[in-house]
């Protein structure tokens, strides 16, 4: 198995397409292989994996910190995934890019430190998986309101389902 790595509009945000093997029995995909990623100059030591499940129209994020690399993919369903540059010293500060991640395409997004990310569930149900390079540290976590006018992100929903935490984040 192998991966194809594509650059995005942001340096170090990468769009990754793993090889998928399908036959009459079903599908097989290797979602992470250290050697494969190193061959593509992705030398990150991931220390934890997290999984979340959500229903249609749930919007999670935008969350970030300045230390953690995240490797994101959708294990089941379909999500609208957004990455936003939150590095104040960056020429692309407050710019964003979206991706469609599904259990059919198995695409991944590598999100570097300093980039916020959020996702909206487009299918009836979603299983969202992310590998992270750091252990959770609530003192270094930051959030930006999903509809902050400074970011002006297009979300294909008018009334998303939000957590109390995501509802109470202030605008920039």
Query: 63, 73, 107, 119: which one is catalytic?
Result: 63
Confirm whether 142 is a catalytic residue: no
Q: What is the pLDDT of residues 31-83, one digit of tens each?
A: 999 999 999 999 999 999 999 999 999 999 899 999 999 999 999 999 999 99
139: containing domain? 47-168
Q: Position of tokens 């710019």? A: 95
Q: Which residues contact 117 (CB under 8 A, 6 or more apart)?
A: 61, 62, 63, 64, 70, 72, 81, 82, 83, 84, 109, 111
Q: Is residue 59 part of a domain?
A: yes
**In contact, 63 and 116? CB cutoff 8 Å:** yes
Residue 114 lies in a domain: yes
Report if residue 16 sits inside a domain: no
**Cβ proximity of 84 and 95 under 8 Å:** yes
Is 130 labeled as catalytic in the residue annotation? yes
Q: pTM for the complete prediction?
A: 0.94
Domain count of the chain?
Answer: 1
Give a yes or no: residue 22 inside a domain.
no
Q: Domain holding 56: CATH number?
A: 2.60.120.10
């Amino acid at each position: 198995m192998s991966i194809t790595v594509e650059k995005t509009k942001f340096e170090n945000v990468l769009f990754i397409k793993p090889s998928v093997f399908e036959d009459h029995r079903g599908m097989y995909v290797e979602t992470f292989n250290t050697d494969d990623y190193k061959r593509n100059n992705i030398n990150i030591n991931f220390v934890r994996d997290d999984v979340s499940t959500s229903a249609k129209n749930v919007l999670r994020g935008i969350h970030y910190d300045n230390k953690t690399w995240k490797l994101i993919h959708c294990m089941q369903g379909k999500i609208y995934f957004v990455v936003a540059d939150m590095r104040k010293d960056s020429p692309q500060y407050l710019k964003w890019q979206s991706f469609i991640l599904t259990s059919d395409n198995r695409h991944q997004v590598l999100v570097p430190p300093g980039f916020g990310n959020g996702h909206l569930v487009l299918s009836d149900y979603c299983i969202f998986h992310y590998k992270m390079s750091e252990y959770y540290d609530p003192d270094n976590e930051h959030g930006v309101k999903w509809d902050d006018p400074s970011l002006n992100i297009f979300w294909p929903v008018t009334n998303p389902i939000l957590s109390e935490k995501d509802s109470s984040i202030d605008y920039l």
